[in-house]
Amino acid sequence: MTSDFRVHTPLFKEETLPLIRRLARWGREHLSNLLMPLLAIVSSVFVASLFVLLTDVPPLEAYAHLLAAGFGCRAAGGCATGCPPPALTTRINCIRLQFATPLLLTGLSATVAFRAGVFSVGQAGQMVLGAAAAAWLGGRLNLPGVVHAAVALAGGAAVGAGWGWVPGALKKYLVDINEVIVTLVMNQLALLLVGVVRLPRVGASARLAPLAHGTKLNPGIALALVAAVLVLPSMLVLWDRWHRRRGDAVIDERALESSLAVDRSG
């Protein structure tokens, strides 16, 4: 009687088993995608701690100073500024966002490159040249306020993108050279180019109004957040295409090996 009950009342219906298998596979894939970055962070902290120990400084003390420098009063130039505590707190938070803006944009550019299977480390050079181009357009052109700022931002983005296109073009169309080496060299070249060019002072019409008095925080942080939202779907598409190309290459390689094995046996 019990056995009949177990036979006729299974724990899962047959039509639900494929769904459960898909959910389990999805969970395993996303769990590995989550664990890999966490493992990278833990490994980097561990290796950095070994180097800190060589200086006879406790790693926890070094990391405490690091956090205090980035998120404490020293991030705003020291606590003895004469500002009341609420104003000082606001200034510290604004400075955090101010420095986070270029880091967020360069991090997004690196993420897109890595997701596309290109190990580009040329974000510093692209940012420097893009900023120089935006400054030149902001100082040389005479346009209405909103248009001038938009043209300067678009020009800087175009120059930075063009500088990042060069290593990819060299790898694909001219010589199969390692993009890591090319982008590292181009970072230094960008710094040299910007150093020999005299940039004008950015005109008032091209400047983004500061969001807080006494800081350089401007609506650029909003542009960076919007870029992050827009880049996420493109990263997913690039990741899917890269995996498909990789899977097709593996299938072609296995098919070639199988045909060679058949030829040898024949």
Q: Cα dist. 116→8, 63, 96, 102 in Å?
A: 50, 33, 30, 21
Task: Give mean pLDDT in consecutive 10-residue pieces for the chain, a chain of 266 residues.
Answer: 46 55 68 76 92 90 81 49 53 79 88 78 92 93 89 93 89 80 92 90 88 81 88 67 55 54 55
> Could you give the maximum distance between any two Cα atoms of the chain, in Å?
92
Break the chain into its structural domains and give their ranges. Answer: 19-63, 102-248
Question: Rounded distance, CA 233 to CA 118, Å?
Answer: 18
Alpha carbon separation from 39 to 29, 60, 234 (Å, rounded): 15, 19, 25
